């Protein structure tokens, strides 16, 4: 009977042992004084320490922790890489849209009949600005495009200030920044930026010297009308950096797109056409309404602008003076400028011919007629030698040029 009970108990305990959880699953230790069960969290069997079960469980837990740690780092890395890839895609898209905007604006600037963008060009620029706002509203590209699409509207100047803070080395940002400061009357900031552009050869020595001759060609307290970047910024650079001909008021056809700039000119006594479209007709009206302002036009203005008023234009140095008739002292002024006042950079012996060389031809043709009438063969020969050099018929200049 006792044997039967013993074997029954043995069979019962063997069933319990088969029903224990597998290694690696943590069981909560319980204190007991019975032999062969856990005491103080440690297995005791026949008075001997048994640590196998906990060692295996801890090893598995440690392996699981390492695995989950590595897996977490991999997931974080994948997320970072995805964010980087997304940022790269957004940057690429931003540059693509901004380049498209710049191309439209550049094509608009090449228009030989007007400075104001065509309606289709303006609509396309505005559309690109909206795209940039959706893609990257905090980028310098968006802020610059928003300002530039306003065509010098100073109400948008906070965006240009942001673009300048974010990317002051960008050439387009610098150009717009100079115009903003100049139109706001901050000549110190404009001068600093123009000096920086000169040091970086954005305003080349050739442009600097040529526009110096442009200012020299104007009479006292004259108004110099300019058209593009080189004649406008070059003249302003000479005024601010070299204090040359500060009496001359530079009026840019490009800046005239700005309502604030137009208002400032009206406050100075200029009479402006009613239209806000700056084109060939606008220049004609502006000259007619301000004929008493000693108007001088840069020769670099496209011919399409000059043809409607050609009968009232007379060459003076490297400008055209707008007047009903040439001044009585014009022959002497022309001669004095050519031989003594103009630096004629790129036309002197040993210098590479300037890209502005052809702009001196009207002055030389005037002197040629003058010396033919006077029968002055010596000066006529010098003038013709200079014309031949400019036209590519001679490789070097004669002395006295």
Residue-level pLDDT at 348: 85
Residue-level pLDDT at 334: 95
Q: Is the pLDDT higher at 361 or at 37?
A: 361
Q: pLDDT band for position 82 (50/70/90)? A: low
Q: Model-level pTM? A: 0.76
CB 157 within 8 A of CB 180: yes
Range of lowest pLDDT (43-57, 134-148, 165-179): 43-57
| Residue 25 pLDDT exceeds 50 | no
CA separation for the pair 301, 282 (Å, rounded) = 14
Q: pLDDT band for position 28 (50/70/90)? A: very low
| Residue 296 pLDDT exceeds 60 | yes
278-292 confidence digits (pLDDT tens):
999 999 999 999 999
Residue-level pLDDT at 285: 98
Give me the torsion for CA of 256, 238, 111, 183, rounded to 10°: -20
Residue-level pLDDT at 8: 45
Residue-level pLDDT at 48: 41
| Residue 207 pLDDT exceeds 80 | yes
CB 297 within 8 A of CB 322: yes
Residue-level pLDDT at 385: 93
Q: Which residues of 221-250 are buried (b: 16+ CB within 10 A; e: fewer)?
A: ebbbbbbbbbbbbbbbbbbbeeeebeebbb
Q: Considering the chain, what percentage of its residues have pLDDT values greater than 90? A: 72
Residue 160 CB: number of other CB atoms within 10 A?
Answer: 24
Residue-level pLDDT at 92: 86
CA separation for the pair 333, 327 (Å, rounded) = 10
Q: pLDDT band for position 10 (50/70/90)? A: very low
169-184 confidence digits (pLDDT tens):
999 999 999 999 999 9
| Residue 89 pLDDT exceeds 50 | yes
Mean pLDDT, range 81-90, rounded to an integer = 58
| Residue 315 pLDDT exceeds 60 | yes
Instruction: Kindly tell me the burial class for residue 291, based on how many C-beta atoms sit within 10 Å of its own C-beta (0-12, 13-18, 19 or more).
Output: middle
Mean pLDDT, range 316-341, rounded to an integer = 94
Residue-level pLDDT at 75: 60
Mean pLDDT, range 250-273, rounded to an integer = 97
CA separation for the pair 67, 61 (Å, rounded) = 10
CA separation for the pair 401, 390 (Å, rounded) = 12
Residue 377 CB: number of other CB atoms within 10 A?
Answer: 10
| Residue 39 pLDDT exceeds 70 | no
Residue-level pLDDT at 153: 97
The rounded radius of gyration (Å) of the Cα atoms in the chain is 41
| Residue 113 pLDDT exceeds 60 | yes
- Residue 244 DSSP symbol: -
Mean pLDDT, range 108-121, rounded to an integer = 96
Residue-level pLDDT at 72: 64
147-168 confidence digits (pLDDT tens):
999 999 999 999 999 999 999 9
Report the DSSP beta bridge partners of residue 250: 224
| Residue 224 backbone dihedrals phi, psi, to 5 degrees | -100, 120
The angle, 0 to 180 degrees and rounded to 10, between the axes of the packed helices 140-148 and 171-184 is 50
Q: Considering the chain, what percentage of its residues have pLDDT values greater than 70? A: 76
Mean pLDDT score across all residues of the chain: 83
Beta carbons within 8 Å of 359's beta carbon, 6+ residues apart: 210, 299, 300, 318
- Residue 270 DSSP symbol: -
CB 278 within 8 A of CB 114: yes
Q: pLDDT band for position 69 (50/70/90)? A: low
């Amino acid at each position: 009977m006792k044997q039967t009970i013993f074997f029954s108990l043995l069979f019962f305990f063997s069933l319990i042992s088969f029903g224990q959880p597998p290694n690696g699953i943590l069981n909560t230790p319980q204190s007991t004084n019975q032999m062969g069960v856990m005491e103080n969290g440690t297995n005791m069997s026949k008075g001997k320490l048994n640590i196998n079960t906990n060692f295996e469980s801890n090893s598995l837990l440690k392996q699981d922790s390492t695995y989950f740690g590595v897996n977490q780092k991999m997931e974080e890395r994948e997320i970072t890489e995805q964010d980087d890839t997304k940022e790269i895609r957004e940057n690429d898209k931003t540059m693509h849209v901004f380049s498209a905007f710049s191309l439209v604006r550049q094509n608009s600037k090449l228009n030989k009949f007007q400075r104001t963008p065509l309606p289709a060009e303006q609509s396309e620029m505005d559309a690109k600005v909206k795209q940039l706002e959706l893609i990257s509203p905090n980028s310098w590209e968006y802020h610059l495009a928003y300002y530039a699409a306003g065509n010098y509207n100073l109400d948008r100047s906070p965006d240009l200030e942001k673009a300048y803070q974010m990317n002051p080395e960008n050439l387009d940002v610098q150009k717009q920044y100079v115009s903003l400061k100049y139109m706001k009357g901050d000549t110190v900031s404009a001068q600093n930026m123009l000096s920086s552009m000169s040091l970086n050869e954005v305003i080349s020595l050739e442009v600097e010297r040529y526009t110096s001759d442009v200012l020299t060609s104007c009479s006292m307290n004259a108004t110099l009308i300019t058209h593009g970047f080189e004649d406008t910024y070059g003249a302003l650079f000479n005024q601010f950096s070299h204090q040359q001909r500060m009496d001359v008021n530079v009026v840019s056809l490009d800046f005239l797109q700005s309502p604030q700039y137009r208002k400032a000119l009206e406050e100075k006594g200029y009479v402006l056409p009613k239209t806000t479209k700056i084109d060939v007709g606008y220049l004609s009206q502006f000259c007619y309404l301000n004929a008493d302002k000693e108007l001088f036009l840069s020769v670099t203005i496209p011919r399409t602008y000059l043809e409607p008023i050609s009968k009232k234009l007379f060459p003076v140095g490297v400008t055209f003076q707008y007047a009903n008739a040439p001044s009585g002292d014009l022959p002497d002024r022309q001669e004095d400028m050519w031989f003594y006042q103009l630096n004629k950079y790129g036309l002197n012996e040993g210098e590479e011919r300037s890209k502005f060389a052809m702009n001196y031809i009207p002055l030389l043709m005037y002197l040629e007629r003058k010396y033919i009438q006077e029968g002055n063969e010596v000066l006529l020969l010098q003038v013709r030698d200079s014309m031949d050099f400019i036209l590519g018929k001679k490789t070097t200049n004669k002395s006295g040029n």
